[in-house]
Amino acid sequence: MTVIRSVVRGIGSYLPARTLTNHDLAAMVDTTDEWIQQRTGIKERHIAAEKECTSDLALAAAKKAIAAAGIEPESIDLIIVGTSTPDNTFPATACAVQAGLGITTGAAFDLQAVCSGFVFALTTADNFIRAGQARRVLVIGAETFSRILDWDDRTTCVLFGDGAGAIVLEAAEGEGTTADRGILTCHLRSDGRHKEKLFVDGGPSSTRTVGHLRMEGKEVFRHAVGMITDVIEDAFAATGTSAGDVDWFVPHQANRRIIDGSAKKLGIPLEKTVTTVDRHGNTSAASIPLALSVAVADGRIKEGDLVLLEAMGGGFTWGSVLLRW
């Protein structure tokens, strides 16, 4: 049976030039490099320059993804930016990216699912492609979480960083089997009962301010490993695959202990798990495309590999995408 698949044609990423090490943070709040590394695995993160906005990061990543795909920007008919740190309340950061690429056709919008933003955006793009409503989609995860951190709160400010990653997805015909290249299955979940465990204490309609990130760290940690299991089991059940078939596990990069715990629970060896949290911190919606970008650039992820993506974030939201690269 012939089916439409969303195949990755190119990937790109961008990290701001400035790095902030744990030692730098120790000079700002009551913390130590040892505490941060032991609890999170993070050594350093990148921080956007004063005038650098989320759309600037997104545009830089998008240009690299488009160059890697070898296509003309005008051939892109949909841009989706997963972000919780847009340049402005509106218009969408995706519209700024579209203008920056010189595209005047098609559509562009933002999608907000916090750390699950890239998985939600990828799923949305796949649905547009499989419905025949788009052929080439630019999917971006881009964040400047440094702008919503309370830099006096040591329990949160040590965890996050800025960055962006982008991929170009293109419609292609497949045989309808798991040997096809492209996205094989996507599974999304949300449970708003947990909305106060990880949130920003401001917004246009509530406080008329931007607000700061607040988190019950222990509660988020407790749920993170447990929650992702269902969407990964759904991915395996939908495709008749199992953990042993996965070539690369690329989870959201929140915390080394969450990543290791998830991989162990799923039975995926750490050698097949891509980890960048040590260098990037938690870049929310940008973390998965950033990690993918690193693993493609260093030759780990190759065409034909089975790649499992997974994320969990504020809301709570969580989801999985299984694709053949």
**Residues 150-179 contacting ligand ACO, CB under 6 A:** 154-155, 158-159
CA angle 123, 239, 305 (to 5 degrees): 75
Residue 232 touching ligand ACO (CB under 6 A): no
Among 100, 106, 217, 261, binds ligand ACO (CB under 6 A): 217
- CA 235/CA 313 separation, integer angstroms: 19
Residue 201 vs 305, nearer CB to ligand ACO: 201
Closest by CA to 134, choosing from 98, 104, 171, is 171
Among 92, 95, 169, 312, binds ligand ACO (CB under 6 A): 312
Residue 254 vs 301, nearer CB to ligand ACO: 254
Closest by CA to 80, choosing from 27, 131, 127, is 127
Among 11, 66, 80, 115, binds ligand ACO (CB under 6 A): 115
Residue 134 vs 258, nearer CB to ligand ACO: 258
Applying CB under 6 A, the span of 8-16, 183-191, 218-226, 231-239 interacting with ligand ACO comes to 218-226
Q: Nearest distance from residue 299's CB to ligand ACO, in Å?
A: 28
Q: Is 175 left (phi over 0), alpha (psi -120 to 50) or beta?
A: alpha
Residue 222 vs 302, nearer CB to ligand ACO: 222
Residue 254 touching ligand ACO (CB under 6 A): yes
Residue 152 vs 173, nearer CB to ligand ACO: 152
Contact 8, 325 (CB under 8 A): yes
Q: Nearest distance from residue 285's CB to ligand ACO, in Å?
A: 10
Among 218, 271, 298, 299, binds ligand ACO (CB under 6 A): 218
Three-state DSSP state, 83: coil
Between helices 93-100 and 54-69, what is the axis angle to 10°?
50
Between helices 287-297 and 117-130, what is the axis angle to 10°?
80
Q: Nearest distance from residue 309's CB to ligand ACO, in Å?
A: 14
Q: Nearest distance from residue 31's CB to ligand ACO, in Å?
A: 3
Three-state DSSP state, 297: helix
Contact 142, 285 (CB under 8 A): yes
Contact 286, 164 (CB under 8 A): yes
Q: How many residues touch ligand ACO (CB under 6 A)?
A: 23
Contact 137, 80 (CB under 8 A): yes
Exposed (0-12), middle (13-18) or buried (19+): which is 147, by Cβ within 10 Å? middle
Q: Nearest distance from residue 2's CB to ligand ACO, in Å?
A: 38
Q: Nearest distance from residue 293's CB to ligand ACO, in Å?
A: 19
CA 60 to chain centre: 16
Residue 4 vs 29, nearer CB to ligand ACO: 29
Three-state DSSP state, 108: strand
User: Tell me, what DSSP letter sits at residue 236?
Assistant: H
The residues annotated as belonging to the active site are 115, 252, 282
Residue 296 touching ligand ACO (CB under 6 A): no
In the complex, the residues that contact ligand ACO under the rule CB under 6 A are 31, 35-36, 39-40, 115, 154-155, 158-159, 198, 215, 217-218, 220-221, 224, 252, 254-255, 282, 312-313
